[in-house]
Structure 1
Amino acid sequence: MLGWSFPPNADGEDEDLNNPGIESFKNTPLTSLAREICQNSLDARHPEAMAPVEVQFTLIDLPAADFPDITDFRDILARCKAERPDSKKFQQFFRRAEDIASQETIPCLLISDFNTTGLRGADGAKGTDWYKLTRTVGSSDKSGGLGSFGIGKFAPYANSDLRTVFYCTLNADDQHAFQGVARLVTHKAASGEETRGTGYFGVREKNRPILVRSQIPAFLARKNIGTNILIAGFRRSDQWEAEIVRAVVDSFFYAVMHEKLVVRAGGTVINHGSLPSIVENFYKDQKTTGNTPAYLEALTSSDAREFINSDFEGLGQISLKIISGKNYPKRVAMIRGSGMKIFDKGHFLTPLRFAGVFNAVGEKIDSFLKSLEPPQHNSFEAERADAPAEAKARLRRLYEWIRDCVRSIAESDAEEDTEIEGVSKYLPDDVDDAPKKKEEASTEDRDEAAEEIRFVVKPREAFKERTTVAVEPASEEGDDAAGEDEAGRRANDEDSGVDVSTGEDAPSGEGVGDGAVAGDGSSNAPVYVPVQLKSQRVFSSDAASGSYVITFEPESDGGGTLFLNAIGEVGQERVLVSQARLVETGVAVPVIGPGHIGPFTMKAGQKIRIEVKLRTALRCALGVAVHAN
């Protein structure tokens, strides 16, 4: 017998509206839906498919007569509503649900994938993909089917005003299956018996799916191998299509560019050919923020440089493509093997502006990183591993490899000759090829010489009025295993430094002459006062080892500290110092934090020479600020 069935509660826990799984996707319901669906379908790619995985999002108005057992479903909504008559939120939700269910047509979003394996185990056996999707909560062991079926499967419900989703599959074993799942609230059935909040449409005996093709509703039955998901009571908006397209462009540009994925959202087709123009339209005039245009350039430009480690720690291949330029965001897109971007990694110690795309190509390294993802798939968290300390160390080494690749480009760029625009017209094309003697040409044939080449020397800016700034001591941040938070993404162009104690990413200070990162002004924080200098000089004593000698003559006595910044084309940031010493005496100067050394003794009118050695042999202009404390 087919119909809706809500299992007896048997004096168990009551289920209310605030389902934790659904609530976790409420802030970004459509973005989360697109990410979860596309990732799951990519993971379920059919091994024999010749074409990319295709996912279609289609808005449909389902006639109420075609909704499975709509009369019984309306009665269930009324019984749920009667459970909490005094709750405003409760009543508001079920009034809206009843209004939608009473209409002649019900708005739905149909999601279909192609060139996948479908959901195996639809005969109801426990532990199979189908069973995990429809009948379990919290299962995250995936055998290759549609998703991990842990938290991600709740994303469709976050987009349903009826909290109801229908699933239909035709799998690679030529097996059909159909079932509806409604995640409502604990309520009383017609018999008076209290039920669970989660109910099923299908074979009422043991809540099994429908396996007979002729009994599956025609609007959802599959003709080709793959899976259909119907979100009933879809919370549509005018921007639903644009939001899904934006989520796909942001999270799956790599998969689309490498022809692993095609997405159709309403009237928009996102594929290898259309992706560049879609990205351009979304991000033109900065109406949409994000790094996707820069990442696409890193993937497609002939100026990009590629780094490959064919067997990272025995786990398989990893790769990184980098493009440099002053307009890039200093971020690396962290991609897993399936082609989904997990997060944007930032905090790189280099004045170089760049964009990069990292991919875990090898199956073992991909599996390792996948095991560290939280339900939202937006970071790598070592604490999720069976051996957290080992996972954290491996993540650190992986990030260090990425940083080394970035540093190598920064160092090679620093060694390249710089062309001064306009000077070439006054120089010979090739000095070696120029003739020793040449008969003087007539004055009519001579190029007109430049009347004047002006050089402007700006005087050194006087020190500003002395101010007192309270700052916090340098912090020792943890590993950059997780993705950046929203505040970090909004501060996309701010420069960052590195924790001197760990070599990992940590926030850096703000300018050359401002002392240090602003603190909270507490009485326990050290106080730094800018020191006026009679003279100052910085030169590289050993470029190969990253050693610099800083000479200055202060105008006042006392204890002093130095703040050092690498000055780049469009910004500056603290440098990582490994050691420092007074040149005259050889006495070591303490390294306090990124770009911060001291204290040391100063005497007015007496020159001080300090040699610093950078953690990396970085060739750069070094900005220096001296403060008394």
Structure 2
Amino acid sequence: MDETGNYAYYFEALGRGERQGARDSRSEHFATKDIEEALVRETVQNSLDARAGREPVRVRFALHNVSTASIPGFDSYVSALRSSVDQGAGTLEGAQPLHAALERTERAIVPVLYVHDFGTTGLRGNESDPTSGLSSLTNSSGVSSASDGRGGSFGIGAAVGVLASRLRAVAYLTRKFDGDGSTIYASWTHLAGHVDSEGVERHARGIFTDLREQNRLVYPRFREDGFGPFHQRDEPGTSVIVLDYRGADDDPTLEKLRQAALQSFWAAILKGDLILEGAHDDGEWTVDSSNLDEHLSKDSLLAEKTLPFRRALDEEPVTTVIDTLGEVRLHIKALDEGDLPTAHTRPLYTTTMRKPRMRIATWANRSIPRPYAAVLSCTTDEGNEFLRQMEGPSHDDWTNRGAPGQSAVLRNIKELLKQSLRSRFSYETSDAVAVPGLSEDLPDTVPFDDDSPLPLPEDKGVAGHESWERQSPERESNADPSKPVERLLPVPVPDGNGGRGDDPGDLDPVREQKPGSGESSKPRTRTGRGGPASGQVSVRTFSGPGDEWIEVRLRTGSDTATTTGVRFFGLDGADRDMPLTLLNAVDAEGRALATEGNLLKEVVIAPGSSTRLQVRFLETGKARIEARTDAA
């Protein structure tokens, strides 16, 4: 095969088209994820979607050094890259990786990450079919290859390979399950719009193809003789090749890839659908159903964040049938039963998954006081396809994307979660207690929604959330003053991670408030307004989304000191209350205050001033404050 004369990276002439910069907009969908997580989730999910039979899919990560001179089409790539940098790319947004890539081309050897899969169909179709998996990975954007199970829901997952490459180039080897036994080599790169040596303005995307073909893409096929440094595949399947893998220096033994894969695909491994392997200069590792628990237990992060969900699958499931989805299962495990290597005082909430058994999202129901981990799964064919259409390009949530039936499915799933969790933990609530005399201090009514589970970013943390406080509202002028009325108003309550989520764009940054350190310099949300009437106590809470502590302010209209107790309750979404457990309470100087259960005892309020306290809860529930006064 004349690989040097006929094949090269081809960049389409711009003509009257739109000029392209260095930034590939598709990569923005993965900007908030670690590169290992993004790469693993896209590649392994594609492999599971392309499973050929009943045998497990085997995915093997391998890190090897490759000579840059041996990479097919490398000269044409370097020429286009140099033009991209020299002709203004330095002034374009996102151009810094191009400069770094050009420096890397001076190296004789670069690390290359291979992600081989076995027991799959390979990439079906051909490069001329825009709906095929082969085309979706190399020459499509916004095109689904659902029939092939490759390329992601929007053809966007292919961008992860370029994102993981310091050369901004990715290649593929594929051998079709029903093909002629040959191996196809495909590759593409995203640089920046540039002018070639003949003065023709070109697009940013280059595709490795036979230059003799003027009107179509043709990828090389080969057998035993290999192609450049790449060998023929011995069996059907696909190999993703990340040229100059950017994670090689920090993760030479591929432990970060192993950890990321276990966080997302532990259930597929447990079921026997997936086997993971890693090969590097210092050895190899394998994870399958027989040693999964060992791998989860010996890694501190996995033991804390992933093993509890694995143990949840040992619990008897709640099973129901939801229209459009079919059978849905929910496994719930209490985390305070002492049978896990890591102690948990806070819930890990519910992780969701569909047929490939990849973790999709984590949903929180914060009205449940006990620490728990739950797994909700739908593995029917019809449910898998329906839920797949509810996922975004990064496959990390189920949302209503406007298609018929999606809103109803979400409601049904969340109702199943809410009712099953309450039933599992024998959820009981106390009666609401109204506090006469606070009506002058409270705002008007605000809308109230129930405590349906909220979608969360990954399991590294939970973003700040909105909770509810119940107090007596302002009365109508003709209302009976002996009958207190209750309204609801929002009170942000931080979670156990200090309100810090994965995506900082979801939150306004707020400096962490420490006990006794005074107010944050950032805006804080408060409840209540005005001053108390004589002989009465007003209660306000202040909390920024980055705070672990909640500030409580008490004022009295009395001209003498007042002693009061303060009780904290969680709202369950059904106009009822549940006591919250106080972990700590301190005064403005950081001195510890006496607590018992949900009661903050004997707080002294000086006359004519506001007394400031800070409290922290065991539960990450929804807060209500009841003030009970007792004259000093």
Alignment partner, residue 386 of structure 1: 403
> What's the counterpart of residue 159 of structure 1?
164
**Residue in structure 2 matching 1:106, options 103, 110, 115:** 110
| Amino acid in structure 2 at the alignment position of 1:247 | A
User: Residue 273 of structure 1: which of 279, 287, 290 is its match?
Assistant: 290
Sort the Cα spacing of 1:395 and 1:190 in 2 relative to 1 into closer, same or farther, 3 A. same
Shift of 1:364: 1.6
How has the CA–CA distance of structure 1 residues 408 and 76 changed in structure 2, closer, same or farther, with 3 Å as cutoff? same
Q: 2:423 aligns to what?
A: 408
Q: 1:509–1:574: 8 Å Cα contact kept in structure 2? A: no
Q: Please, which moves more after superposition, 199-208 or 315-324?
A: 199-208
Per the alignment, do residues 24 and 85 of structure 1 end up closer, same or farther by CA in structure 2, a change over 3 Å counting? closer
TM-aligned CA deviation for residue 625 of structure 1: 2.0
CA deviations 1:345-399 (Å, max 9, x no partner) are: 11243323321111112222222211111112111110x1323xx4222211111
Q: Are the structure 2 counterparts of residues 330 and 200 from structure 1 closer, same or farther at C-alpha, using a change threshold of 3 Å?
A: closer
CA distance in 2, matches of 1:472, 1:219: 70
**Residue 289 of structure 1: how far off its partner (Å):** 8.7
Asked if the contact 1:379/1:482 (under 8 Å) is kept, the reply is no
> Within 5 A, what are the aligned runs for 1:461-540?
476=448, 483-485=455-457, 490-491=461-462, 525-526=528-529
Q: Tell me how far apart the structure 2 counterparts of residues 294 and 91 of structure 1 sit (CA, whole Å).
A: 43
Q: CA deviation at 1:485?
A: 3.8
CA distance change for structure 1 residues 85 and 521 in 2, over 3 Å: closer, same or farther?
A: closer
For residue 135 of structure 1, report the CA deviation from its aligned partner: 1.2
CA–CA separation in structure 1 for the residues paired with 2:533 and 2:348:
30
2:425 counterpart letter in structure 1: A
1:116 partnered with 2:120: yes
Instruction: Give the counterpart letter for 1:385 in structure 2.
Output: G
Change (3 A) 1:407 1:92: closer
2:37 to 31, 40, 60: 31
Q: Secondary structure at the match of 1:201?
A: strand
Q: 1:238 to 1:526 in 2, by over 3 A?
A: same
Deviations, residues 501-521 of structure 1 (Å, cap 9, x unaligned): xxxxx977689xxxxxx9977
2:236 aligned partner? 225
Whichever residue aligns with residue 155 of structure 1, its letter is V
Superposed displacement of residue 30, structure 1? 1.8
Alpha-carbon distance in structure 2 between the residues aligned to 1:481 and 1:405: 12
Q: 1:307: Cα distance to partner?
A: 1.0
Partner of 2:312: 298
SS at structure 2 position matched to 1:399: helix
After superposition, the Cα gap between the structure-2 partners of 1:479 and 1:379, relative to the gap in structure 1 and judged at 3 Å, is farther
> Are the aligned partners of 2:60 and 2:277 in contact in 1 as well (CA < 8 Å)?
yes
Q: Does the aligned pair in 1 maintain the 2:21–2:93 contact within 8 Å?
A: no
Residues 355 and 522 from structure 1, CA distance in 2 versus in 1: closer, same or farther, beyond 3 angstroms? closer
Note closer, same or farther for the CA distance 1:531–1:61 as it changes in structure 2 (3 Å cut). farther
Counterpart amino acid of residue 142 in structure 1: A
SS in 1 for 2:138: helix
Report the CA distance shift for 1:359/1:507 in structure 2 as closer, same or farther (over 3 A).
farther
Q: 1:247 aligns with which of 246, 260, 266?
A: 260
Which letter does structure 2 place at the counterpart of 1:574?
A: L
Q: What residue number does 2:176 align with? A: 171
Long gaps (5+) in structure 2? 1-5, 337-343, 430-437, 471-489, 496-519, 537-556, 559-564, 578-622
Q: Hey, what does 1:614 align to over in structure 2?
A: none
From the superposition, tell whether residues 121 and 216 of structure 1 become closer, same or farther in structure 2 (CA, over 3 Å). farther
Paired letter, 2:626: A
Task: Pick the structure with greater CA Rg.
Answer: 1
Report whether the alignment pairs 1:15 with 2:20: yes
Match in the other structure for 1:79: 83
TM-score, length-scaled by structure 2: 0.67
User: Could you tell me the percent identity over the aligned residues?
Assistant: 22
One-letter amino acid of the structure 2 residue matched with residue 367 of structure 1: E
Q: Letter of the aligned partner of 1:321 in structure 2?
A: H
- Aligned letter for 1:173? D
1:559-578 maps to which residues of 2 (within 5 A)?
573-578=570-575
8 A contact 1:63–1:106 mirrored in 2: yes
Please tell me whether the aligned partners of residues 152 and 376 of structure 1 are also in contact (alpha carbons under 8 angstroms).
Answer: yes
Q: Is the partner of 1:24 in helix, strand or coil?
A: helix
| Aligned CA distance change for structure 1 residues 574 and 142 (closer, same or farther; 3 Å) | same
CA contact (8 A) 1:26 1:158 kept: no
SS class of match (1:198): strand
Query: 1:109/1:330 Cα in 2 relative to 1: closer, same or farther (>3 Å)?
Result: closer
Aligned to 1:569: none
User: In the alignment, is the contact (CA less than 8 A) between 1:347 and 1:497 conserved in 2?
Assistant: no
1:332, 1:346 within 8 Å by CA — same for their partners in 2? yes
Cα-to-partner distance string for 1:66-85 (whole Å, 9 max, x where unaligned): 21133333222222221117
Do 1:33 and 1:155's aligned partners in 2 also have CA atoms closer than 8 Å?
Answer: yes
